[in-house]
Amino acid sequence: METYTLIVLLLAATIRVATPLLLAAIAGLFSERAGVIDLGLEGKMLGAAFAAAAVSATTGSVWFGLGAGIATAVFLALLIGFACITHKGNQVVAGMAVTIMVVGLGPTLGLAWFGLGGQTPQLDGAGQRFTGIAWPGAAAAKEMPFPGLLYSELLSGQNLIVYFAAALVPLSAWIFYRTRFGLRLRAVGENPHAVDTAGISVNGLRYQAVIISGVLCGVAGTYLSTAASSGFVRDMTAGKGYLALAALIFGKWKPVPTLGACLLFAFTDALATRLQGVALPVVGVIPVQFILALPYVLTVLLLAGFVGKAVAPRAIGVPYSKEK
């Protein structure tokens, strides 16, 4: 039964890793489907992680932290929007610039406010973190490993943000394909001229998309610093924003396949953590560095060859102007 427990724990770890990835990927989905490249995912998430931890530590409430995280990420998103939508700037440059700014700004502010070397204080008070919610009967279910363990370890005991992320996939699919807003959003990423001639504001739609991306990045960042760990540390996103972007491309800019990609990346990540120091048959112990590189190697391989042709929204990356 040892293997079974191991697998359940591995899946539980997958869910934990996948949550911020999925939130960021869906955030990117909204932005990119509207035609705005979202290279700022990493920066928005990191900014939100810092703000959420700082506010939660100061006020003692994780909900204020969440609010601060979302507000920060939305602010950064609007910054990108202002540069790329209003002033037709280069979307790649704007996203990168925001990310680079936040990488430096977070720890600097942290040092000034808390004097802890750029970190935020440990969130150990009650209500300062998002913690797991035990479902009724979870403890009892543990007694009977199959299928009880699946219930107690996977379904039950996750925090609110995980459930939110899970609900987000069908929700966003519904928004994209069943609502007026979704139709217009997809149209503006494909042919903004068509949207403009239909009498709909291209910039208005793109701003809405960018703001939604900000909100979701805010939640993702808050998850990192107040749920997955207890406080902000320097560079804590560790490339998850870019990985989310890769997942979104791998998922061909569609919600459900994007979920699949996120789970796959998260699974390799969880597996890599498990494999550290474990002697495997034939190869023996694999060096830690190699194992940690695994998810990224997988990303490169998948994106380079196995995805097939991913067709991006046609107008992505092109600032809209009436003249062609």
Partner 1 sequence: MSDEAGSATAPGRNSDGAAGAARAPALELRAIDKRFGAVHANRAISFAVAAGSIHGLIGENGAGKSTLMNIIYGFHRADAGEILVHGRKVDITSPQGAIAAGIGMVHQHFMLVENFTVLENVVLGVEGGALLAGGLTAARRELEKLARDYGLEVPLDSMISELSVGLQQRVEILKALYRRAEILILDEPTAVLTPQEADQLFKMLGRLREQGKAIILVTHKLREIMAITDRVTVMRQGAVVAEVMTKKTSPRGLAEKMVGRAVLLQVDKCPATPGVALLSVTDLEVRDRLGVPRVKGVSFELRAGEIVGVAGVAGNGQSELLEALAGIREPSRGEIRLGGRELVREQLDARARRALGLAHVPEDRLRMGVVASFSAEANAMLGYHDRPRYGRGLFLDGAASLAGCEAKMKEFDVRPAQPALRISAFSGGNQQKLVLAREIDADPSVLLIGQPTRGVDIGAIEFIHRRLIALRDAGKALLVVSVELDEILGLADRILVMNGGEIIGELARAEATEEKIGLMMAGVRGEGGA
Residues contributing to the site for partner 1 (CB under 8 A)? 177-184, 186-187, 190-191, 193-200, 314, 322, 324
State which residue, 180 or 284, has the beta carbon closest to partner 1. 180
Cβ atoms 241, 24 nearer than 8 A: yes
Cβ 193 to partner 1, closest distance in Å?
5
State which residue, 142 or 193, has the beta carbon closest to partner 1. 193
Q: Angle, to 10 degrees, between the axis of helix 255-275 and the axis of helix 240-250?
A: 130
- Round to whole Å and give the CA distance between 14 and 7: 10
Cβ 78 to partner 1, closest distance in Å?
24
From residue 113, alpha-carbon distances to 14, 48, 57, 104, 195 in Å are 34, 16, 11, 15, 47
State which residue, 66 or 202, has the beta carbon closest to partner 1. 202
Cβ 207 to partner 1, closest distance in Å?
17
- Round to whole Å and give the CA distance between 253 and 295: 20
State which residue, 187 or 224, has the beta carbon closest to partner 1. 187
Assigned token pair, 182:
């979704």
The amino acid occupying position 288 is V
- Round to whole Å and give the CA distance between 250 and 161: 24
Cβ 200 to partner 1, closest distance in Å?
5
State which residue, 108 or 179, has the beta carbon closest to partner 1. 179
Q: What is the SS3 assignment for 110? A: helix
Cβ 186 to partner 1, closest distance in Å?
8
- Round to whole Å and give the CA distance between 176 and 254: 9
